Amino acid sequence: MRAFQLTGWQKPPELREISIPEPGPGEVLLKIGGAGACHSDLHLMEAPEGSASVTFPFTLGHENAGWVERLGPGAAGYAVGDPVLVYGPWGCGRCLNCRTGMENYCENEGVERPGGLGRNGGMANYLVVPSTRFLIPIGNLDPRDAAPLSDAALTSYHAVKRSLHLLGAGSTAVVIGAGGLGQMAIQLLRALSGATTIVAVDTAPDKLATAKRMGADEALLSGEDAVRRIKDMTLGQGANLVLDMVGIDPTLKMAARVARSLGHVTIVGLGGGALPVNFFNLPHECSVTAPYWGSIPELAEVVSLAQAGKIKMLVEHFPLDRAAEAYHLLHDGKIGGRAVILPNG
Ligand SMILES: [Zn+2]
Ligand SMILES: [Zn+2]
């Protein structure tokens, strides 16, 4: 089969011919429907030597959906052809966090590398998933469109849900960066909190127009005017929740300026900027956090929202032999929603 693989540090990924893997005991072989291209893949491609625990070569793609092709010995509960979403952060399954479904915070990190982030992922015809506990049935959803639910949507969902208690009547939530993840965050805010006022901020007018369509009450071009407008809207108090989907110095600075006392600043974007946190720099008792992905129960909730038509990811499909092009477009900011690679057409 063909697989889009990283072969070494700071080398461009390449399409290679590898053999179809065998599912071992408890494992499941999936025929891939779609594999999303994520910004964190770009980080991995550019990462300095030794900066992550990976074994080359490995297949990219940590945002996967497909159909059960074959069950390994002892794996049960699924039939061949079942459409499923793959939960991406593969933990040990035994530690306390894993047992509550938060395998994204496995206490034995490094035991299991997530597929696509250090071991073989989904940008290939087939993928071996190490356990059926990482599969979420998706029913009538098409795996080719559903793949981004497992990262783009799950990551945004977790970031919103942990702050829901702040988003009652009269509250304001600001989403900085209205790309694929930001658009999803806006839909999730709309779906989970009917009461909160949603403000989208971006540098691109077309993304702001999309943000409005996705449910933002206000869409503001980033800059001083946006800061002033948010302060005005909130009677000088600032927003209860600020989601920074970009994470570079200027967006983090803005996030700190538009948040309120007792609010949350949540850094989702991997921009790598820095926000000085001290007594003077943030409103009092404002929390700053950088979550990673989400839990297995949260992924099941995300699937429910998608099945109910309450969230929808904008996807652009690419055949496997155009995967490199998809990443170039992603790198240049030219993917409007999410690029999804279709290894099996
Ligand atoms: Zn990702
Ligand atoms: Zn664990």
Give the pTM: 0.96
Which ligand has an atom closest to residue 107 CA? Answer: 2
CA of 113 to the centre of ligand 2 (A): 12
CA of 88 to the centre of ligand 1 (A): 9
Q: In terms of Cα–Cα distance, which of 117, 115, 122, 119 is closest to 3?
A: 122
- Kindly report the number of other CB atoms within 10 A of residue 236's CB atom: 8
CA of 150 to the centre of ligand 2 (A): 19
CA of 88 to the centre of ligand 2 (A): 13
CA of 92 to the centre of ligand 2 (A): 4
Residues 6+ apart with CB under 8 A from 172: 196, 197, 198, 199, 230, 233, 234, 238, 239, 240, 241
CA gap 216, 200 in Å, rounded:
6
Output 333-339 pairs: Cβ under 8 A, ≥24 positions apart: 333/179, 333/204, 335/37, 335/179, 335/180, 336/180, 336/206, 336/207, 336/210, 337/148, 337/180, 337/183, 337/313, 338/36, 338/37, 338/148, 338/152, 338/180, 338/313, 338/314, 339/36, 339/37, 339/315
In degrees and rounded to multiples of 5, residue 201 shows phi and psi of -130, 135
Mean pLDDT of the region 261-280? 95
Q: Tell me the per-residue pLDDT of 279-319, one tens digit each, with 9 for 90 and over.
A: 999 999 999 999 999 999 999 999 999 999 999 999 999 99
CA gap 27, 113 in Å, rounded:
15
Q: What percent of the chain has pLDDT over 90?
A: 93
CA of 105 to the centre of ligand 2 (A): 7
Q: Tell me the per-residue pLDDT of 53-112, one tens digit each, with 9 for 90 and over.
A: 888 999 999 999 999 999 999 999 999 999 999 999 999 999 999 999 999 999 997 667
CA of 293 to the centre of ligand 2 (A): 15
CA of 294 to the centre of ligand 2 (A): 14
pLDDT-based confidence at 253, cuts 50/70/90? very high
What is the pLDDT, as a whole number, of residue 96? 97
- How many CA atoms does the CB half-sphere of 301 hold within 13 Å? 16
Q: What percent of the chain has pLDDT over 70?
A: 99
CA of 26 to the centre of ligand 2 (A): 17
CA of 107 to the centre of ligand 2 (A): 5
Which two tokens mark 282? 């943030």
CA of 73 to the centre of ligand 1 (A): 30
Which ligand has an atom closest to residue 108 CA? Answer: 2
CA of 98 to the centre of ligand 2 (A): 4
CA gap 105, 81 in Å, rounded:
31
CA of 166 to the centre of ligand 2 (A): 30
CA of 274 to the centre of ligand 1 (A): 20
Which ligand has an atom closest to residue 121 CA? Answer: 1
Alpha-carbon distances, residue 6 vs 51, 87, 102, 121 (angstroms): 15, 21, 28, 11
Which ligand has an atom closest to residue 180 CA? Answer: 1
Mean pLDDT of the region 231-254? 98
CA of 49 to the centre of ligand 2 (A): 26
Q: In terms of Cα–Cα distance, which of 142, 162, 66, 176 is closest to 313?
A: 142
What is the pLDDT, as a whole number, of residue 52? 81
